[in-house]
Amino acid sequence: AFCLCFQDFADAAGWEVADTAVAFGRLMALRNLVELCSTPILARWSDRVGRKPALLLCCGACFLESVLLASCSSTVSLGLVYVAGGVFASHNAIEGACIVDSTPDDWQRGSAFGHLFLGLGAALVVGPVLGGFLTATSGRSAPFLVAALLSCCSFWISSRMPEYLPEDRRQVSASPTHLLPRLKAFAQLVSRDPRLYWYTCASVLSSLGISAFITVRTIWARHHFGWDGSEIGKVVSSYGLTLMAAQFLLLPLLLWAMQGREALLAMLCLLVHFARFTAYSLAPSGTWLYPAIILSTAGSCSVPVLQGLCSRCVAEDEQSLLSGCTSALNTAAQVLGALLGSSAFATALRGNAHPSAHLLFSAVCFILAAGCVIPGGLAELRSTTQRGARSWVSTAEGMHGADASLPGPTARASMLLRQDVPLKSKKCRIV
């Protein structure tokens, strides 16, 4: 709904579609950066005052952002409100912290994260359909007003929640986050293990490719197929449905079938993404997108599988360092992908590149990511320490399989960049 509203204002101002795509790409990149920078600060503040005040602040800020978006009348005001809203758009980080605080048992924590992902997945399925329908039938302000109402409900629920962080476990000081030493430590971590290096490269390329497409997806579908908000919402919801199916149904089956060959599984899933974007570029009509989305369901398993491969390359006390720094790298890739994808789409619209340049760019990113898994898998075979390791994917990490499918940083993982809160990623086996 936000992209549709931005495009409507841009059209009213006389912008070309190419100019709209470039401006929207820059806006998405800036929002991602704001979220990444603000999330550790907000998370550290919640360590001092508790989770409940932080949740209430985020819900109140979401309500205010929705109301202001509904009242905007130009691309400038819409963009300013959207970027400013990113400062408090870190509720996922606080929700994840609530689960970590209240569930010390590994399996209970994994189950709680699974329930959270189920709720997020349901929102990913219902939200686009509802937003597209309201935009097409009730005007551009309707989705934001509904979002404001839902934010009020979230605020009320948060006000009724208990405080999950006891006072004796809160951080008294507010020392700054030392990001540079963490990144140096992560560089040393990657350099000592070639498997981790190649798997991290594959993850970053995957984020780059998906972000390049996601950023201009709505503008592309509206321009290329002539769809309105309702039809675009159906397609996005269809993808959300396949994402849920991949995480809860297909992923456990694939891990069971490919036990001991997880690197090969990751490569195959990335190749499925390559085939999906290639099919998009060849689609003669919008109806072809639906079978392409369904047939590429397995591609959504690539993110948790890559996360699992990376996680078993490091020791247990290094999990928070790995999670936080890979999240920062993936967010940087999403920022770059938003800029490159929108620029490629705009260049194609101006007749200076292939009509599907941004789709081909995403396809190339995934074929390169699959290529990076090959040397990592070969190093895996040569490793004696991991030989015979069982197949597993951390439920807490698998919850963020949607991160590579949605613009924006991994809020919970960026929270783990805090040096003084060594949260550990617990390994929950799927058998």
> Residue 173: its pLDDT value, please?
53
CB atoms < 10 A from the CB of 192, how many?
Answer: 11
pLDDT grade, residue 361 (50/70/90)?
very high
Nearest to 268 by CA among 377, 370, 362, 363: 370
In terms of pLDDT, which residue wins out, 345 or 285?
Answer: 345
CB atoms < 10 A from the CB of 403, how many?
Answer: 25
Give yes or no for residue 344 having a pLDDT over 60: yes
pLDDT grade, residue 356 (50/70/90)?
very high
Q: In the structure encoding, which two tokens stand for residue 3, read together?
A: 């992209």
Residue 184 CB-density burial (10 A; 0-12 exposed, 13-18 middle, 19+ buried):
exposed
Phi then psi dihedrals of residue 401, to 5 deg: -65, -25
Residue 365 CB-density burial (10 A; 0-12 exposed, 13-18 middle, 19+ buried):
buried
Name the average pLDDT for the chain.
82
Nearest to 127 by CA among 223, 229, 41: 229
Q: What's the mean pLDDT in 106-130? A: 79
Q: What's the mean pLDDT in 262-272? A: 94
> Residue 392: its pLDDT value, please?
43
Give yes or no for residue 416 having a pLDDT over 70: no
In terms of pLDDT, which residue wins out, 273 or 183?
Answer: 273
**H-type helices in 50-90, by residue range?**
51-71, 75-85
Q: What's the mean pLDDT in 263-280? A: 94
Give yes or no for residue 266 having a pLDDT over 70: yes
> Residue 384: its pLDDT value, please?
45
> Residue 365: its pLDDT value, please?
96
> Residue 61: its pLDDT value, please?
92
Three-class SS state of 139: coil
> Residue 423: its pLDDT value, please?
37
Calpha distance 323→309 (Å, rounded) = 12
Q: What's the mean pLDDT in 149-153? A: 93
Q: What's the mean pLDDT in 149-178? A: 78
> Residue 178: its pLDDT value, please?
62
Q: What's the mean pLDDT in 317-330? A: 82
Residue 109 CB-density burial (10 A; 0-12 exposed, 13-18 middle, 19+ buried):
buried
Q: What's the mean pLDDT in 244-250? A: 88
39-85 pLDDT tens trace? 888 878 888 888 888 889 999 999 999 999 999 989 999 999 999 98
Q: In the structure encoding, which two tokens stand for residue 275, read together?
A: 């085939």
> Residue 401: its pLDDT value, please?
38
> Residue 396: its pLDDT value, please?
37
Give yes or no for residue 275 having a pLDDT over 90: yes
Q: What's the mean pLDDT in 240-257? A: 89
Highest mean pLDDT among 9-13, 47-51, 422-426: 9-13
Percentage of the chain lying above the pLDDT 70 cut: 85
Longest dimension (CA), the chain: 63
CA atoms within 13 A on the CB side of 237: 18
Lowest mean pLDDT among 48-57, 144-153, 415-424: 415-424
- H or E segment to which residue 104 belongs: none
Calpha distance 232→277 (Å, rounded) = 17
Residue 167 CB-density burial (10 A; 0-12 exposed, 13-18 middle, 19+ buried):
exposed
**Residues contacting residue 65 through CB under 8 Å, at least 6 positions apart:** 81, 82, 84, 85, 88
> Residue 380: its pLDDT value, please?
78
Calpha distance 144→148 (Å, rounded) = 6
In terms of pLDDT, which residue wins out, 196 or 181?
Answer: 196
Calpha distance 91→316 (Å, rounded) = 26
Give yes or no for residue 399 having a pLDDT over 90: no
Q: Strands, DSSP E only, in 87-190?
A: none
> Residue 280: its pLDDT value, please?
94
> Residue 179: its pLDDT value, please?
65
> Residue 155: its pLDDT value, please?
92
206-227 pLDDT tens trace? 999 999 999 999 999 999 998 8
